[in-house]
Amino acid sequence: MALFCTDTFLDANAARIAVAAPDLEIVAMRRGEEVPAEDIERITVAFFSNDVWPERAAPFMRVALDAPNLQWLHSMSAGVDSPVFSMFLDRGVRLTTSSGASASPIAGTVMLYLLALSRGLPAWLRAQANHEWSPTPFRELDGQRVVVVGYGPIGQEVVRLAEAFRMDPVVVRRSADGDEPCPVRPLAELTEVVRDADAVVVALPLTPDTRGLFGAEVIAAMPPHAVFVNVGRGELVDQVALTDALASGRLGGAGLDVFDPEPLPADDPLWDLHNVIISPHNSASSDGTAARVAEIFLDNLSRFVRDQPLRNEVPGR
Ligand code: OXD
């Protein structure tokens, strides 16, 4: 059995890999070097770690896709909606994600957007750039109804933080589990639920069922003062309808980490809207995420060699 991983991950984790899987061979991806064909043939496990992104992602995936004996791929991402992942599943390769590893920084970014938009931070920054002293009153988060759509690790952390800020969270998910600390409404009632929202936070994965969920009708149902936050995927939202609503004042503001397409083209009108905060799909890129991802992978590696169920496994085809 051989693991394909980067030299960076290997150098930092060789001892821990040996503990998790004592007899494992290693095929390392080294900077500036091709992986020899006979090594590609030996690969049975591949770890797509944070350090490959973005420069080495394509060569890494090429080797993994060429590995005829690959049995399992672990991804540093939470979402595996990119078409490359389907190519592995279609071949019968097991796929696991790092769902949960980025929940804390992403939920922190959500609170950053909510605080910044409620206080009018973009206007403060513009005034600062112009050396203008222009105090304006702002709306507190206390008591604001935040509708959190999706209740995976990110949605759960957003609800926890929103409660700490004395907001009034409501979760929208397929169906209630009974362990949520706040009211839950089914996804089928989304348009109804957002009518009372002060903020809507999208923390859903992109699947055939969720693509385009936030269409013009849902966006139009939100009150004009409400803010819209998306840390899921751009394709969940009708971006043209969202842009129109924000530009015309039919929606209060937006904090967006994800777009359709990415990178957001330089001439996209979203860039220039004064009530929009844009981050370039990096709300998870904190100094702590890679270590939590490695933790999940190493735990799964030890499970894999012992034939135990894997964490965060994506259902096969
Ligand atoms: C992820 C992401 O899927 O950050 O992990 O988008």
% the chain with pLDDT above 90: 99
Nearest to 25 by CA among 46, 43, 40: 43
pLDDT of residue 317 exceeding 90, the answer is no
For the question of residue 30 being annotated catalytic, the response is: no
- Helix-, strand-, coil-residue percentages of the chain, each rounded to 5: 40, 15, 45
> Ligand 1 in contact with 101 (CB < 6 A)?
no
| Angle separating helix axes 153-164 and 103-119, nearest 10 degrees | 40
pLDDT tens for each residue of 51-71: 999 999 999 999 999 999 999
For the question of residue 131 being annotated catalytic, the response is: no
The alpha carbon of 210 and the centre of ligand 1 are apart by a number of angstroms equal to 16
pLDDT tens for each residue of 227-237: 999 999 999 99
pLDDT tens for each residue of 252-285: 999 999 999 999 999 999 999 999 999 999 999 9
Q: Give the model's pLDDT for residue 123.
A: 95
Task: Specify whether the CB–CB gap between 254 and 201 falls below 8 A.
Answer: no
pLDDT of residue 17 exceeding 90, the answer is yes
pLDDT of residue 193 exceeding 80, the answer is yes
For the question of residue 233 being annotated catalytic, the response is: yes
> Ligand 1 in contact with 312 (CB < 6 A)?
no
* Candidate list 74, 233, 235, 292, residue with the active-site label: 233
pLDDT tens for each residue of 140-185: 999 999 999 999 999 999 999 999 999 999 999 999 999 899 999 9
Task: Specify whether the CB–CB gap between 198 and 145 falls below 8 A.
Answer: yes
Task: Specify whether the CB–CB gap between 296 and 311 falls below 8 A.
Answer: yes
Mutate to test the pocket of ligand 1, among 102, 281, 314 (most ligand atoms within 8 A of CB): 102
249/147 Cα distance (integer angstroms) = 20
